[in-house]
Amino acid sequence: MKTLWQMTAERHKTVHPTEKPEKLLERILSIGCEEGFTVLDPFMGSGTTGAVAKRMGCNFIGIEIDQEFFNIAKERIARTMSLTEMELAHLF
Ligand SMILES: C[S@@+](CC[C@H](N)C(=O)[O-])C[C@H]1O[C@@H](n2cnc3c(N)ncnc32)[C@H](O)[C@@H]1O
């Protein structure tokens, strides 16, 4: 493999056993995703992709077969603020 990405490991935010670091998803989504785009993760797990997509101002569709992981992801994404929301919250 000619190209390797190196990034510092992150502490898990959920109990999902294969949770990905948010920094990794930020890097992947920033390659082809712009504000207003829609991101689909058909194996959503604990919702890392959804949280990062929302922060970037993207729409998100997530599919997860496990009800517990689905609930964790739904709550995590709901708690995540987009960058625009963060800027607005900072103003008031
Ligand atoms: C590798 S994990 C995803 C990790 C996730 N992207 C994250 O960063 O947190 C794969 C997930 O796919 C789910 N899964 C497996 N088969 C599925 C199916 N047929 N439909 C929907 N979800 C499925 C598993 O329950 C598991 O949570």
Q: What is the pLDDT, as a whole number, of residue 62?
A: 97
Atom of ligand 1 nearest to the CA of 45: 27
Pocket of ligand 1 (CB under 6 A): 16, 18-20, 41, 43, 45-46, 48-49, 63-66, 69
Residue 90 CB partners (closer than 8 Å, separation 6+): none
pTM for this prediction: 0.89
Domains belonging to the chain, first-starting first, are 22-91 (3.40.50.150)
- The helix, strand and coil proportions of the chain, stated in percent and rounded to the nearest 5, come to 45, 10, 45
Atom of ligand 1 nearest to the CA of 47: 9
Cβ atoms of residues 72 and 51 within 8 Å: no
Provide the H-helix boundaries in 1-92.
22-32, 48-55, 67-79, 83-91
For 34, the 3-state DSSP assignment is coil
Kindly report, residue by residue over 38-88, the tens digit of the pLDDT: 999 999 999 999 999 999 999 999 999 999 999 999 999 999 988 878 887
